[in-house]
Amino acid sequence: MLAVSVFFSLILFQLVYTVSWNPSTFQYDPGSNYQLVWSDEFTNVGAAQAVINGQPAYAVNPQNWVIQTGLINGGLQNYTNSIQNCYVQNDQLVLVAMQASSATNNLYPSAMITSAGLQQFTYGKFAAKLVAPYGKGLWPAFWLLGNAWAQYGFYWPTVGEIDILEMIGGWVWGVNQDKTAYGTVHWNNASNTLSPSNAAAQGTSWSTPDGSMLHNNSLVYWTEWNETNIVIGVNEFTYFTLNTNNISGSINPVDAFHGKWPFYLLLNIAVGGSWPGSPDNTTVWPQNMVVDWVRVYQQTNVTSTYQQTNVSSTYQQTSVTSTYQQTNVSSTQQTTVSSTQQTTVSSTQQTNVGSNVSSSAATAIFVHFSPSTNFFFIIFSYLFSFHMY
């Protein structure tokens, strides 16, 4: 009887919490031992570049962000530097993915921005308050990528990656994914150099407690990266923790997670690819990611934090590889990366990646999971994900 009583008490508690969940009242608090060291609140910088929806639209702050362009991701989007795809308006950043047409070579114009070479940090809490896009074929992301090129000549997966938010829109494998966020950590579990290289991944998912869609809520997606753990959460929920001092099935320690080089921030909307699939006739266009702010906090008692701001081009990254995405962009320098993607299963994937040196920041280049790994990652996430209500 006690077990039955506890069971029904837990169900009642969950129902009460679900009904009372109101994310609009949430205020993110990094904790008393953290202080704000950098943020972009997306105020207007410079002259208006266009009029969009009847209001002036401004470019992103060039001290903080570089707009990436090209056929990055092996998906169906083409990242552009058009003000129509990325602009600041009413103290918000708006990234826009648009419908493909013959005028766009049947690719979906979209946006990606990165702080590589401009705003980079070692350890801290990284957070963004945003409304995600939605719909079949959409793949928005807010994530961090290590930058070890200038110091060591390393690229992905050795540099490490922390996916604070990924979402695959619409119905995928019979489940409406628009209410689910994914958090994942990637690294080289075979060595702290480029050889041997074996790409490992651990992560899980979180779904809204009331079943509402992510695009109906402005939520704070955050991660805490410190000397011992990487923690990923949404608003008041912590849903994934990785102990970076003792990672099962991996070399330990992993240099990427122990302060050897800084990480930078990325925001983008990918379209298509093996994980979300292609848009269909249910997808609504255009699709926006609307960001209220991006903030970085660091502990007040940490004195060895590495931060790079406005670094000259000699310190900029010429080749970075990140999971999930790949590119066909021609390049002045090309490297072959062989990696084995794994969660609980592995599938070998090999790709060529290239890079072009940017005068203001690094060009990020990416790699996809294979379809089989994506399938098992989804299944694994749903079987083993946990929610803290």
Q: What is the mean pLDDT of residues 131-159?
A: 97
Which residue type sits at 355?
S
Q: What is the pLDDT of residue 19?
A: 57
CATH number of the domain at 35-299, please?
Answer: 2.60.120.200
Taking the C-alpha atoms of residue 114 and residue 67, their distance in angstroms, rounded to an integer, is: 7
For the stretch 308-340, pLDDT in tens is 444 333 333 333 333 333 333 333 333 333 333
Q: What is the pLDDT of residue 267?
A: 98
Q: What is the pLDDT of residue 188?
A: 98
Is the model's pLDDT at 1 over the cut of 90? no
Q: Which residue has the higher pLDDT, 372 or 138?
A: 138
Q: What is the mean pLDDT of residues 135-161?
A: 97
Q: What is the pLDDT of residue 20?
A: 76
For the stretch 72-123, pLDDT in tens is 878 999 999 999 999 999 999 999 999 999 999 999 999 999 999 999 999 9
Is the model's pLDDT at 359 over the cut of 50? no
Q: What is the mean pLDDT of the chain?
A: 80
Give 156's contacts (C-beta < 8 A, 6+ positions apart).
145, 146, 186, 199, 320, 321, 322, 323, 337, 339, 366, 367
The secondary element (H helix, E strand) that includes residue 20 is helix 2-20
Q: What is the pLDDT of residue 74?
A: 81
Is the model's pLDDT at 127 over the cut of 90? yes
| Confidence category of residue 160, pLDDT binned at 50, 70, 90 | very high
Least confident among 195-204, 217-226, 311-320: 311-320
Q: What is the mean pLDDT of residues 280-309?
A: 82
Residue among 128, 193, 99, 181 at smallest CA distance from 155? 193
Residue among 192, 186, 195, 196 at smallest CA distance from 341? 186
Which percentage of the chain shows pLDDT scores above 70?
A: 72
Q: What is the pLDDT of residue 76?
A: 96
Q: Are 97 and 279 in contact (CB under 8 A)?
A: no
The secondary element (H helix, E strand) that includes residue 37 is strand 34-40
The two three-digit tokens of residue 52, written as one number: 């969009």
Q: What is the mean pLDDT of residues 66-72?
A: 95
Q: What is the pLDDT of residue 334?
A: 32
Q: What is the pLDDT of residue 196?
A: 98
Q: Which residue has the higher pLDDT, 15 or 154?
A: 154
For the stretch 2-19, pLDDT in tens is 554 444 444 444 444 455
For the stretch 26-44, pLDDT in tens is 999 999 999 999 999 999 9
| Confidence category of residue 294, pLDDT binned at 50, 70, 90 | very high
| Confidence category of residue 300, pLDDT binned at 50, 70, 90 | confident
Q: Are 271 and 77 in contact (CB under 8 A)?
A: yes
| Confidence category of residue 131, pLDDT binned at 50, 70, 90 | very high
Global pTM reads: 0.77
Task: Provide the residue ranges of all domains of the chain, joining segments of one domain with +.
Answer: 35-299
Give 199's contacts (C-beta < 8 A, 6+ positions apart).
156, 157, 186, 187, 188, 189, 323, 339, 340, 341, 342
